[in-house]
Amino acid sequence: MTETAYSKPVPDLDDPAMAPFWTAARDRRLTAQQCTACKSYRYPALEICPTCLEQGANWVDVSQEGTVWSFATYHRAFHPGFKDELPYVVAIVENADGVRYTGRILGPRDGLAVGAKVRARFVDCTDRFTLPAWELVAA
């Protein structure tokens, strides 16, 4: 797949703050920054830890399992690239390490509710870009 074939927004893969996240996603790993001082996780990337206000962090692998914290079903495409996928669901997922990610819910959505169990699913969008999304875990 090429960049020109992908019609949806693409993040800045060369942004130095977030590049490690996108590199890990390409390897099908979910990551977050971990503060070098207090060890708390944070996502997206920040220069200063919101917990202890210290600088310094490393990108570390985190759990790919989580629960739906909130979600919305879109019946109107707010970007033309999504018009053929209506309706689609965007969720805030809190992973098992307490990190919250925003992403699409893919696959069957029977049983979708706040608190539903999900796992990460990685979608190759272009040759350079893999997007973390989520799928429901069967009960």
Kindly report, residue by residue over 42-99, the tens digit of the pLDDT.
Answer: 999 999 999 999 999 999 999 999 999 999 999 999 899 999 999 999 999 999 999 9
- Predicted TM-score (pTM) above 0.85: yes
Residue ranges per domain, the chain?
A: 12-62, 63-139
Residue type, 12: D
Which strands make up the sheet holding 41-42, listed edge to edge? 41-42, 31-35, 57-61
For residues 116, 120, 121, 123, the Cα torsion angle rounded to the nearest 10 degrees is 120
Q: What is the pLDDT of residues 5-50, one digit of tens each?
A: 889 999 999 999 999 999 999 999 999 999 999 999 999 999 999 9
Place of tokens 């099908």: 28
| Fold adopted by 63-139 | OB fold (Dihydrolipoamide Acetyltransferase, E2P) (2.40.50)
**Exposed, middle or buried, 1 (CB in 10 Å: 0-12/13-18/19+)?**
exposed
